[in-house]
A and B are shown apart, each in its own frame.
Chain A
Amino acid sequence: MANVTLRYTKEHEWIRIEGNEAVVGITDYAQSQLGDVVFVEVPAAGKELTAGGEAAVVESVKAASEVYAPVSGTVVEGNTALPDKPETVNSDPTGAGWFFKVRLANPKELDGLMDQAAYDKFVAELGG
């Protein structure tokens, strides 16, 4: 499983890197904070993303959140099955609940993201 790494953002997105493409979703902590997800919007293939910019939308009954792009790049595919079954974000946030796949424009941007240990510490400090 060489070349597969998992990184995290401070906004609770995870990014699973596979060569020069990556899959992005929100973490289990994020979905538990949101509550029951009722609506999602995923980007269309071909959309250009900038690191830190808005990429997708996730809404629960009581909160609405942007999903930010952890890295810059072009969207390869949005998870078009997700809008019809938003509850997948709650039940399987790191698997079937993925939001989009992106082709990285600048792999160096990954250096600024947290690894598993750093993210776990970050969440613990939030009192979550």
Chain B
Amino acid sequence: MDAGTTSGNRGLAIEQPLIFEQDTKGATAVDLPAVPHVRERLGGMKNTASIGLPGMSEPEAVRHYTRLSQRNYSIDTGFYPLGSCTMKHNPRLNEKMARLPGFAEVHPFQPLSTVQGALELIDTTAHWLKELTGMAAVAMSPAAGAHGELCGLMCIRAAHEAAGNGNRKIVLVPESAHGTNPATAALCGYTVEAVPATADGHVDLAALKQKLGSHIAAVMITNPNTCGLFEKECVAIAEAVHAVGAFFYMDGANYNAIVGRLRIADLGVDAMHINLHKTFSTPHGGGGPGAGPTVLSAKLAPFAPVPQVIKAGDRYDALEHAQSPRAPQAFGRMKGYHGQFGVFVRALAYMMAMGADGLRQASGDAVLNANYIMARLSESLTPAFAGPCMHECVFDDRFLKGTGVSTLDFAKALIDEGFHPPTMYFPLVVHGALLVEPTETESKASLDQFIATVLALAAKAKTGTAAADFQAAPRFTPRRRLDETKAARKPVLRWKPAAESAPKTNGASSPRQAAE
């Protein structure tokens, strides 16, 4: 499909070459003070070769990244009905607070007396997480949800070893679990066995009890689960797990459904990671950074990794060394410095803004929004399980049967309509799954527009004559159905000079190239 213009641009959709294709030798957007004359002391390690980095002026650089940003969808742009991701609004107050010089311009190894406010920030954020979950302790340092899972499992393994039960080698994980669960268990040296689900989308308690024994180290359950349902038997599961001396790990990815309503400790959980970039509004940033603090029961608390912040009177102190007198059983260290401090500031700003009542309202609205979508879309789509759902609902592809339209095609058509598609093909236990999580920060008008669009697309698919149309989607995006097979078969993972690489066909040629 030709752009239909000379430049290859289409209105505000402007083509932008790579920085390497805009290079001007010697150009820079950063003027620095003159380098003083000194006698160099580089130990013979001075580099004499050129590196090959491109350079340009400030206006060119600003334009480059501005144009790049305009090719991105984002929460600020529109709705992300992404199940399990909790794409809620990212308040800018969080950003402003993180940039206060007293938070941004402090070095992790200043004398502790000069960073009492930073330690207080970490401790206060930890306090909120402990209060909300009712848990005894929290390990603040994991950098992401998967990292928090690892923290939880490492505490569990350390606890078993300390009690002489190091021969427990197996972790039970539901078939519906997110891929990080078994990957994490493997990283901890465990073997994973699957726990089947019942037909109505819950963990099969009877099957689980059959598998439990003194060889089981832990059970990892997501609750609400990846099918968007609350595990009703959660307390019974915890009791059965504890009865065989194993630990109960809960994946907290879906915590947004129950935050401010239920204390995790009351479910018998031993460890749960919390995704600050999901439930607590810190921005996704195109793939990170996040934070995955892990709340711990009293039994697991002694094994929490360093660093830890502790309060004595009104002074804050940092425990930075594992197996030291004040952290004798800490299993080690998972992250450099003090953890994702900048993410804590953002999360705490959000927690303070929302308060206990706001968080309760948030989980209520999140569940309300998801059920509203489920009720309205069920007119035409096929929900995989009976309602009510929690904060997300899952549909299977029965509604597309015989239409020639796949879940993937349906999602690409949604892109043309200005929506990011829902999570697709996950959980694996649902065929052709579409997992929809609206979050509480979508207005009713936004939901109604999404619902109307999805129903219209479903109706179009069901005519049975529209498959070609769906397969041609998306039509209106800067790029259409990129070839992932080619990318994997012949990986091109960095820029190489033109002589080495295949001819480029991205429309616009840079004026600089044309002039050469």
Contacts and interface: CB of A to CB of B under 8 A. Distances in A.
A39 B489 CA distance: 7
Contacts of A61: 484-485, 488
Interface in B487-504: 488-489
A35 to B, nearest CB: 8
Interface residues of B, number: 4
A39 B488 CA distance: 8
A87 interface: yes
A38 B485 CA distance: 6
A35 B406 CA distance: 14
Nearest to A59: B488
Interface residues of A, number: 9
Interface string A58-70: 0111000000000
Contacts of B485: 35-36, 38, 60-61
Contacts of B488: 38-39, 59, 61
B237 to A, nearest CB: 31
Contacts of A60: 485
A93 interface: no
A28 to B, nearest CB: 18
A54 B393 CA distance: 38
A35 B408 CA distance: 14
A87 B489 CA distance: 9
Contacts of A87: 489
A86 B490 CA distance: 11
Interface in B406-456: none
Nearest to B491: A38
B423 to A, nearest CB: 14
Interface in B468-497: 484-485, 488-489
B502 to A, nearest CB: 18
Interface in A60-105: 60-61, 86-87
A60 B488 CA distance: 8
Contacts of A39: 488-489
Contacts of A86: 489
A35 B488 CA distance: 13
Interface string A26-64: 000000000110110000000000000000000111000
B400 to A, nearest CB: 15
Nearest to A84: B489
A93 to B, nearest CB: 16
A120 to B, nearest CB: 22
A86 B489 CA distance: 8
A59 B484 CA distance: 13
Interface string B118-160: 0000000000000000000000000000000000000000000
Given A61-B485, A61-B488, 13 more contacts: A35-B485, A36-B485, A36-B489, A38-B485, A38-B488, A38-B489, A39-B488, A39-B489, A59-B488, A60-B485, A61-B484, A86-B489, A87-B489
14 contacts: A35-B485, A36-B485, A36-B489, A38-B485, A38-B488, A38-B489, A39-B488, A39-B489, A60-B485, A61-B484, A61-B485, A61-B488, A86-B489, A87-B489
6 tightest A-B contacts by CB? A38-B488, A36-B485, A61-B484, A38-B489, A61-B488, A61-B485
